Amino acid sequence: MAPKRRSSGSASGSKTKRQKASISEQIPEGRSSRRRSQLSDVNGAEGVDENVTITDTNLDEPNNNDDQRDENIHDNDDNEEEDSDEDDDEEEEEDVEVERTYTGAKNAVGQADGRGTITIRHASGDVVTFHGRFKGGIKHGQGLMVFPDGGTLKGIWKNDEISGFGCYTCADGTHVEGNYVDGALHGNVKEYDDDNNLLFDGSYKDNVRDGTGILYLEDGGRLEGEWVNGEFEGKNNRYIYPNALADVCSLRGEWQGGNMKKGFFYKGEKKLSNHAFCFDESDDQKISSEPMLADPYEQICCYVQNSPMQDAGEGLFAKVDLPVDVAVSFYNGVRLDGKKVDQRAWRCNSNAISLNSTTDIDVPENHAMTSTYCASLGHKANHSFDPEKRNAKYDLFFHPRFGQIKSIRTIKAVKAGEELLVDYGYSVH
């Protein structure tokens, strides 16, 4: 069998667009945060003459509740508490508003009233601008907030806080829309990527996922169930495999802190195994805690046998008819420094593949055969130099057991019994 130093496929980071922890990481956060303070407190627009700049270095007051919380956290470590206080002082100093300019309509007593624009500059140099409607000196009505990082928040303001339906758009084009209460996302929310594909549909509380929701993964899988303070967490959650089969396949059970603690395999509504799967990400030494525990979805889709191609050894074959553009096999392995893998002898890289720009996945020689390792089978797929014969490709994949890995994804419809052939990225000279 020829060495399989595979370099094809995406070399992006460990999280794809649909696998970001949450767009909420980028949106305006709680009241104690800098961005939340920028959202509110434009009452200084009262009595501001058009095109007049006001400078004030004491407009923001410290949050006593936050200070008390910090004291409780660091109660047993005076030095750490002092360091924390110094950090808080530095952050507070950066938050100081030093300049604001209002241009627009005013009422009889000189307050911002009607359509206008207020620009607020902070000591850090950050500038926040609000374009919209004012009433009695505060934001009230339709408006658009523009943040220093290029993000925007569009919606209806009531008594200086965005309230009801609003849309926050990140600088990268991803956006989140839903219900705002007291300036924070709360209730039903939808997240979208920059191509307007739905990423998440579910409940938020104080700007993070909290409650029931569905996270749609870019590889075709999805997470359904409960979220707690931004983490996928609950005793009746489930991971849904990509839809390669007529019956929906899933792992159902308990998740904690975003990781699967105990999941059982279901095909449709039928539980097929009493063996519990758990999050078991590899490292540079361990490929799996249970190397002989096969993935049940992969076992339904594929099998390993000798390839009819000359000198190819074993290959990966479709067990059932497979549709186009669906992940059907997984490529787990030990995680190694890509630069060190490149420096190894070529013969040592027969089952190594690039995961991202810094990390390679490798199935070591002692785990190359299914008699010693069958937790994943993606390393068994063979290469074809003929593009017409290739019917699959390597692709990034999130698996609740293995973490971020590569997968074998079909690029054509594949009949049962056909060998799955990919491109190793070899150069032909």
- C-alpha angle 371/303/262, rounded to 5°? 75
Contact present, 234 and 208 (Cβ < 8 Å)? no
Q: Catalytic residue, from 180, 192, 216, 424: name it.
A: 424
First-to-last C-alpha distance (Å) of the chain: 20
383 is catalytic: yes
Q: Which helix (H) or strand (E) holds 70?
A: helix 64-73
Contact present, 331 and 407 (Cβ < 8 Å)? yes
- CB count, 10 Å around CB of 21? 14
394 is catalytic: yes
Q: Hey, which residues does 215 pair with through a beta bridge?
A: 200, 223
Q: What is the C-alpha separation between 191 and 121, in angstroms, rounded?
A: 30
Extract the tokens encoding 207: 């700007």
Q: What is the C-alpha separation between 178 and 167, in angstroms, rounded?
A: 7
168 is catalytic: no
Structure-derived torsion over alpha carbons of residues 302, 308, 314, 316, reported in degrees to the nearest 10:
-20
Q: What is the C-alpha separation between 141 and 129, in angstroms, rounded?
A: 15
Q: Is 89 helix (H, G, I), strand (E, B) or coil?
A: helix
Q: What is the C-alpha separation between 98 and 286, in angstroms, rounded?
A: 55
Q: Catalytic residue, from 102, 297, 373, 394: name it.
A: 394
Q: Catalytic residue, from 122, 331, 373, 399: name it.
A: 331
Residue keyed to tokens 């949050």 = 63
Q: Catalytic residue, from 74, 131, 303, 383: name it.
A: 383
Contact present, 203 and 223 (Cβ < 8 Å)? no
Helical H segments across 5-147, by residue range:
34-39, 64-73, 78-95
Residue keyed to tokens 């996302």 = 185
Q: What is the C-alpha separation between 361 and 341, in angstroms, rounded?
A: 10
Q: Catalytic residue, from 175, 186, 367, 379: name it.
A: 379
Residues noted as catalytic = 331, 379, 383, 394, 424
